[in-house]
Amino acid sequence: MEEGVSSAMEDKTSFVIKVPVNRKNKVKSGESSDESEGETLTETQQVIFVEDKERAESAMGGADAATVSQPTDNKEKQEIVIWPHAAEATSSTVDGHPRRTRVPDKPNYPLSLWSIMKNCIGKELSKIPIPVNFSEPLSMLQRLTEDYEYSSILDQAAQYTDPAQQLAYVAAFTVSSYATTACRTTKPFNPLLGETYECDRMADLGWRAISEQVSHHPPMVAQFCEGAAGWQCWQEFTMTTKFRGKYLQVIPLGGAFAYFPSEGNKYTWRKVTTTVHNIIVGKLWVDNHGDMDIMGEAGPAAGYVAHLKYLPYGYFSKDTQRKVTGVIKDPQGVPRYVLQGHWDSRVEVAAVTSASPDNTVCKTGKFALAWQRVPAPPDSEKWYNFTLLAAQLNEPEPDVAPTDSRLRPDQRLMEEGLWDEANSEKLRLEEKQRAARRGLEAEAEDAAARGLAPPAPPAPLWFTRQAAPGQPHLRHLYNHRYWDAKRAQDWSACPDIF
C-alpha cells in the first residue's frame, strides 16, 4: 500500500452523520479553544443514513459504484467530454516535446527543523525566513494550482442540472484537493509581490489557470481557473498560522468559488485547517480537520448547502483516520445526498431516497464512486513525494510572463540540487523586495512632507479588487487580460521582481 494513504473503505449500508440544524449558539465565555475561538457553535442532530435495498440499483448509476450517473431531469444538455488525469494524458507536450515525468532527486542535506523553529513560537510563519532545506521546488502559486489535479470531477459536475447532485460532486472535488497533503510535509516558496504563475493545460487536461501574488502583508494569492467542460473556479487565498512547539496549524482565511455558466449555479466555501505534527521530534505528518460548508450562492443552486466534516486524526480508531462525511441539503433543509470517504484516497456519494428536515433516519441509494486518488509515481518519495502533475508544474515553458514562478532563480537552483546557491539567491530576492518597499515608503514620506498625495502602491496586473455583482465585500477578481497579453507577448507592464 502507498505510504500515507488510507486503506479502501468497506462498503457500509448504514452510518451516522451529525447534521447541522438552523439554530446557532455563540461560544460561551470561558469555553473557547484554539479551534472554536471567535466562532459560533452550530447545533446538530444525529441522523442515521441507511441504504434502501429496493432502490439501491437505480439511485446513483446502478450496480456499478464506479459508474458516473447521468443527469436526473429531462432537460437536454450538450454532451460534455470528461478530460483525463495527468497520468492518463497522451498528448501532453511542452514546446514540442513530451512533458517530463519527474524532477531531480532531493539531495540529502540534514538540518534540524527545530533549530529553525524553536525561536518562532507564537510568531506568524509567513514572516520568518526559512532556508530552502525545508521547502519543495514549487511556489505557493503552483501548489494551489494542484487543486485542479482531479478537475474531471468538475467536468462531471457540469453535466448535472439537479443542484443537489451537482453540489455532491463539487463537494467531492473540494475533498480531492487535499489528496497530496498526506505525504507532502515540505513548504512551498512564499511568492514575491507581483509573482505570477500560469498553467495552460487546456490541450491535454481541459483547463487553464492564472495566479498572482496580490498582497505581501498579509500574503495573498488570487487565482482563476476555467475548464473546457463548462466550469470556472476562483479563489482568494490567505492564511494565518499558529505554531505551538509540537505542531503547526495553517488556517485558511480566503474564500473559493465554483461557477457553472450553463445553469448559473455558483458555490462558495472556505478550506479547513491543516495541522503539521511532530515539529520537534519524530516523522512529520499532516492532518486536515474541521467543518466545511459549501454554499449555493446563485442560480437554481441558491440555498443548497453541503455540510462536510473532516474528522480529526484518531489515535485509537483507524475508522476515523483522514475520514470525511457530509450531507447535501436543499433550501428546505431536506437531505438530498450524502458523502463519505477519506481525503487521501477516495470519496463516494449516494442519493437520499427518503428524508425530511426532522427525520433522524434517512434512506439512501447505492453509493457511487465520485473520486479515487491516482497512485503516486514510482520512487516519488525520492523527489518530494510529487505527483506527476506536480512534477510538471515547474517545467520551463516559453512565452510565459517574466514574473512567472518558473523563472524564479532560487527555486530553479533548488530544483537542480544547488541548495547553497539557492539559499544565497533567496536572500538576494527577498532583500530586493524589501528595498523596493522601502523606496515606496520613502516616496510616500517625501510626498507627505510636501503636502502631496502619496503615490499609489503597486496594483495587481491580472486581478482587480472590486465587489462581485450583488456582493458587498471587495475581492480580487480576474480581469481576463492575461491570455490576451500572452498572445501579444506584451509584458511591458510586468514589474522587475527577479
* Cβ contacts of 86 within 8 Å, gap of 6 or more: 92, 149, 201, 205, 387, 388, 389, 392
- pLDDT for 154 equals 98
**Greater pLDDT, 458 or 53:** 458
- pLDDT for 118 equals 58
**Greater pLDDT, 44 or 399:** 399
- Mean pLDDT across the stretch 89-101? 86
- Mean pLDDT across the stretch 443-467? 90
The letter for the amino acid at 88 is E
pLDDT, tens digit, 9 for 90 and up, residues 204-263: 999 999 999 999 888 999 999 999 999 999 999 999 988 877 888 999 999 999 999 999
pLDDT, tens digit, 9 for 90 and up, residues 344-356: 999 999 999 987 7
**Greater pLDDT, 164 or 124:** 164
Check pLDDT > 80 for residue 285: yes
State the maximum Cα–Cα separation within the chain, in Å, rounded to a whole number.
Answer: 81
- Mean pLDDT across the stretch 306-330? 87
pLDDT, tens digit, 9 for 90 and up, residues 236-247: 999 998 887 788
- Mean pLDDT across the stretch 184-196? 95
E-assigned strands of 331-461? 335-342, 346-354, 361-364, 368-372
- pLDDT for 456 equals 82
Least trusted range by pLDDT, from 18-27, 325-334, 475-484: 18-27
Least trusted range by pLDDT, from 10-14, 265-269, 288-292, 390-394: 10-14
% pLDDT > 70, the chain? 82
- pLDDT for 53 equals 64
**pLDDT tier at 200 (50, 70, 90 boundaries)?**
very high
The β-bridge relationship of strands 335-342 and 368-372 is unpaired
* Cβ contacts of 317 within 8 Å, gap of 6 or more: none
- pLDDT for 89 equals 85
Provide the whole-model pTM. 0.87
**pLDDT tier at 38 (50, 70, 90 boundaries)?**
very low
**pLDDT tier at 131 (50, 70, 90 boundaries)?**
confident
**Greater pLDDT, 112 or 36:** 112
- pLDDT for 113 equals 59
- pLDDT for 180 equals 92
- pLDDT for 121 equals 59
Mean pLDDT of the chain: 85
Burial class (CB in 10 A: 0-12, 13-18, 19+), 348: buried
**Greater pLDDT, 474 or 159:** 159
**pLDDT tier at 125 (50, 70, 90 boundaries)?**
low
Query: Which one of 80-84, 118-122, 319-323, 436-440 scores highest in mean pLDDT?
Result: 436-440
- pLDDT for 313 equals 87
**pLDDT tier at 71 (50, 70, 90 boundaries)?**
very low
**Greater pLDDT, 7 or 308:** 308
- pLDDT for 355 equals 72
| CA atoms in the 13 A half-sphere facing the CB of 488 | 9
To which H or E segment does residue 114 belong? helix 113-117
- pLDDT for 34 equals 41
Check pLDDT > 80 for residue 119: no
- pLDDT for 29 equals 37
Number of residues that make up the chain: 498
* Grid cell locating 473: 465585500
The β-bridge relationship of strands 273-277 and 93-94 is unpaired
Is the Cβ–Cβ distance between 162 and 71 less than 8 Å?
yes
Q: Where are the domains of the chain?
A: 104-306+367-450+457-498
- Mean pLDDT across the stretch 279-300? 93
- Mean pLDDT across the stretch 26-54? 54
Cα separation, 170 vs 176, in Å, equals 10
